[in-house]
Amino acid sequence: MKNVIVVMAIMLSSIVGTAQSVFDKFEDQKDVTSVVVNQKMFKMLALMGIDVDDPEMQGYVNMAENITSFKVFTTGDEKISSDMNATVSKYLKSSSMEELMRVKDGDQTVNFYVREGKDENHVKELLMFINGIKELTQGQDITINGKKREIETVLLSLTGDIDLRQISKLTSQMNMPGGEQLKKAGKDQN
């Protein structure tokens, strides 16, 4: 019986380890811009000089304390975009994520997926995948780290105890891609 438990534990830990790092392969690719923020940084941000008397700021502090990982990968390279699309599709098939929302506008698609949390307003994981941005940004200068770049695809992964109501407010205030769509999705959850 102990052997069965040990084997199950090893199998589950390898599945969880793979799921958490499935998108990490994009981090070191030449034509990918990445932002990776881990739990320790979120805890530091939550402790920084924020006015905790402000209820809205206190909500952000509470949310930040419960985030374990935030990863954003962007690329303008069509081959990498295709690989991101295939990786997301494979991940969705092997995970227990469900589609929260999908928006299609011309060639651009925005997809939100979530892994169920403790209640209808909380999720353990939020995945946002945007494809086809290049068509919308033609003729616009997008500068990342001092270099002009075209962006075709954005992949955002957020894990932890995530309150959809708070994250939709935050993304719309930060003017992030998909922020308006996520704000609408957060309202639908209320």
Residue 150 has pLDDT above 60, yes or no: yes
Residue 19 in contact with residue 130, Cβ under 8 Å?
no
Show Cβ contacts of residue 134 under 8 Å, excluding neighbours closer than 6 positions. 76, 150, 151, 152
| pLDDT at 46 (0 to 100) | 66
Between 188 and 54, the more confident residue is: 54
Q: Judge whether residue 127 has pLDDT over 80.
A: yes
Q: Is the pLDDT of residue 47 over 50?
A: yes
Q: Among residues of the chain, what percentage have pLDDT more than 90?
A: 25
Average confidence score pLDDT of the chain: 74
Helices marked H in 22-154: 39-47, 55-65, 78-94, 133-137
- Tokens 């925005």 belong to 110
What is residue 12's predicted lDDT score, i.e. its pLDDT?
A: 38
